Amino acid sequence: MKKMIVILLLSLLSCGGGSYLDLLQCNALRREKNKSLDDRISGIQQRIKELENDENKRKQFPLLMGDLYSNMGNRLLEAGQWDAAIDAFNNALKNGRGGHSVYYSLGLAYGNKASMSKNMEDINKAQWNYEKALELEPGYNTAKYSLAILLFFQKDEKAKAIAMMEEVVAANRSYFKARFALGRFYYDTDKIDKSRRVYEELSADLEKAPDSEIILDYRRQCGENLQNLMNR
């Protein structure tokens, strides 16, 4: 029986980076975080409302409205409010903030929404925005990573996704999430030897990395993946 191996997906729904907190602690942290996020979102909404009523300030700072909407969109992403985040980022674009990071964040909002809705329109919008971010900033590997994840799991364009993730890994060997993903891609396409080699090399590099909570979690997950490959 084929065993599942871990992939470190780019997710905004987790409790934290490799936390070992139990469920009750995790829920408590979520409540505290959500309360803080709600307060920050409300504060940004109030600033937007004030700016809407201050024509002179809008003329003096023509990009401020776009900055506020972009900031609010990022907070809404953290809160998992995908539709509201999409609206905020679209308003950021309408107000002059059309940089690669806004398109990437908009893609991330659509991608997270699509992971639950399975709606092809949302998937295509996520892809378009990731690609727009890469058009504006070709070396933006975070967007390339996310696009590869989308293509592999949600569009079944596996060969294209693998080639893209290989580029990300080649560009930055310290992008450990991309190496986890590439190993998973190989595994799911029955390239078992390649998958094992990815995790063996990743394990060796993680051992050299300075200890931290996230590195310790990466080591554990990489070890589990190698064990599953050995027991396959």
Residue range 133-150, pLDDT digits in tens = 999 999 999 999 999 999
Mean per-residue pLDDT of the chain = 86
Rounded Cα distance between 136 and 109, Å, is 19
Q: What percent of the chain clears pLDDT 90, i.e. is strictly above it?
A: 71
Q: What are phi and psi of 98, to 5 degrees?
A: -115, 35
d(CA 231, CA 194): 16
Integer Cα distance of 194 and 50 in angstroms: 56
Q: What is the per-residue pLDDT for 196?
A: 95
Q: How far is CA 34 from CA 26, 29, 72, 91, 201, in A?
A: 12, 8, 14, 23, 38
Could you tell me if 85 and 71 are in contact, meaning their C-beta atoms sit under 8 angstroms apart?
no
Superfamily of domain 23-174 in the CATH hierarchy: Tetratricopeptide repeat domain (1.25.40.10)
Question: At which residue do the structure tokens 């063996």 appear?
Answer: 200
Q: With contact defined as beta carbons under 8 Å apart, do 214 and 18 qualify?
A: yes
pLDDT band at 60; cut points 50, 70, 90: confident
pLDDT at 9 over 70: no
Written as one string, the DSSP assignment of 118-147 is --HHHHHHHHHHHHHHHHH-TT-HHHHHHH
pLDDT for 70: 95
Q: Delimit the domains of the chain by residue range.
A: 23-174, 175-232
Predicted model pTM: 0.82
The span from the CA of 108 to the CA of 152, in Å, is 15
* Segment 20-43 mean pLDDT: 58
Name the packing angle between helices 176-188 and 213-230 (round to 10°).
20
